[in-house]
Amino acid sequence: MKVCILNGSPRARSSNTIKIAGAFAEGLREGATGDVAMDVIDVISKKIGPCRGCFSCWTKTPGRCVIRDDMEDILERVKAADIVIWSFPLYYFGLPSHLKALMDRLLPLNLPEMGRRDDGGSSHFARHDLSRQRQVLISTSGFPSVRNNYEAVLAQFSILFGKDGFTPVVCPEGELFSIPQLKGRTDRYLAQAREAGRQYARDGRISEATETELSTLLFGTEAYYRMANANWELPEDSPPKDEQFAFLEQMAAIYNPVPLGGARHILEMHFTDVGSTYRLVMDKDGCAVQTVEAVRAESGAGNLEPLTTRIETPWTVWRDISSGAIDGAGALMEGKYRVLGDFKLMLIIDQVFATGPEEDERFDLRALMNGTRGEDGPARANRTEGHKKASMTVLLLPWIVAWIGLPLLGRYGAVASAFAACLVVLAPFRWRTNPYEAASAITVAALSLAVLVGLPANVAVPVSYAAFGALWLASCLAAIPLTAHYSAEGYGGESAMKNPLFMKTNAILTAAWGGMYVLTAIWTVFLLRTPAARFVGLINNACPALMGLFTAWFQKWYPARVAAKGNA
């Protein structure tokens, strides 16, 4: 398969659009069954004169333009392609001038004879059989919408190739691809573009689900306006913005007050290598950036509002963290920066400065192409709709029934604990499950069966505590320790699993819980020999309650202790 990419951006390989086209092309390679030959033409670097309208390519030199420039070679490369990808930023609601000149010079591919199209329009007949050839339009724009923006281009391509004769991938807010600090969000879009390429190579089309992802704005419209406006330093701006202030304004533009519950917080950023300090003042109404010097000058040194959290870091480190060059949590563990004050803000900072709109906004290209001009709106009610959470009840229920039921009811308790273990099968319908829950259910069911066939309950109970403790301890050797599955929800969900500080905290807690249950097994052996044997399950439940209090304290204390030890 031969693919020709017409890179129509004047920025050549520095283009934001070519990043998307490149990701799509990578997907084509991955999805194709055979070899893929990729031909990229940087239109801006080619000598392409404007069409003279002389029609010599129809009369004097059929199929060949009289202008001797790079277009002669380009025509041959376009004709040889099975897929032509038109990659360009939107300029004045149309194609950049160099790419438009190229399009005009495609005239030799047509014959002078014309006829009526199926849609009622007219067109010239093709000089060559290019029926195998498919067209893909990939474009970015500086506005956050397609309405009153892309109509002209979509109409032009629809007339040239037919409404179903080309596949559009349109990305408003395309200028954000040049901002390293937003790489997390733009990389997700590029991953979807790559998946679109795979699907296109495999199926000849992009799935509806992927189209929805590609038609979802990178950021909410209002947040984008704030980011875009903050990015421009106009002549009347006084004083000019320094790099750090401009970056913090970008952070403020995507501030989301919901995780903070509308409460007022002050995040102070001290950049140790440049000696500057800034404040992000956050409340229910928004986020404002201040320099500490300006606040002191206005209100006096002794009138600074108390801060909530202070980050002390070299600017170079924070810049690399924000661009994804280094991992923020890993850098904290290595002491490259430190955090003072309330560390809780750091645990939810990715939610406070969200990398996307709280509620997805999308556009409907098909509606524009069909002339219905449908309103842009939510892609779905919310990304979290239908999201399943983990519940430790699923893990604990079979064990609790066994620990209480076996000493009190013997064989009847075994039946009850076996039934509780079977209920775990239903858990995925309501909760997000993990392998430890399945292992628990199987272990409890096996112990219950052993009691039913003759194992004494006073043996099964301590064995069950030991088995449960062993499960916790064994999980410390796995990639995700047991407690992380249940605490991640409060720390950013799946993204928390990539945070080494979060994982280390949970590994310590998981080991502590595992040790407690192993010790419980030992003292249970002695309790079962006392008059309190029938109530051993109830007595032993007091220990997890105390461990729960320790866990709540340790989850706050340990990360804050590590954060304050930085070398910044």
pLDDT per residue as tens digits for the range 298-319: 666 556 788 889 999 998 888 8
pLDDT per residue as tens digits for the range 422-478: 999 999 988 989 999 999 999 999 999 999 999 998 888 889 999 999 999 999 999
3.10.150.10, 3.40.50.300, 3.10.20.310, 3.30.1050.10: which CATH number matches 223-352?
3.30.1050.10
pLDDT per residue as tens digits for the range 244-275: 887 888 788 778 888 888 789 999 999 998 88
Q: DSSP 3-state assignment of 370?
A: coil
Quickly tell me which residue has 């204390």 as its tokens: 557
- The reply to whether 223-352 shares the fold of 2-218 is no
* Cβ 533 vs Cβ 456: under 8 Å: no
The model scores a pTM over 0.75: no
504 vs 563: CA distance, rounded Å? 13
pLDDT per residue as tens digits for the range 179-208: 777 777 888 899 999 999 999 999 999 998
Cα distances (Å, whole numbers) of residue 98 to 43, 95, 383, 518: 7, 8, 40, 74
Cα distances (Å, whole numbers) of residue 158 to 167, 371, 461: 10, 11, 73
* Cβ 169 vs Cβ 363: under 8 Å: no
Please tell me what DSSP assigns to residue 388. P
Three-class SS string for 260-291? HCCCCEEEEEEECCCCEEEEEEEECCEEEEEE
404 vs 346: CA distance, rounded Å? 41
Query: Which range (75-89, 155-169, 342-356) has the least confidence?
Result: 342-356
205 vs 17: CA distance, rounded Å? 20
The residue type of 320 is: D
Would you kindly state where each structural domain of the chain is located, as residue ranges?
A: 2-218, 223-352, 392-563
427 vs 421: CA distance, rounded Å? 11
2.120.10.30, 1.10.240.10, 3.40.50.2000, 3.40.50.360: which CATH number matches 2-218?
3.40.50.360
Q: Beta strands 134-140 and 166-171: pairing type?
A: parallel
* Cβ 332 vs Cβ 351: under 8 Å: no
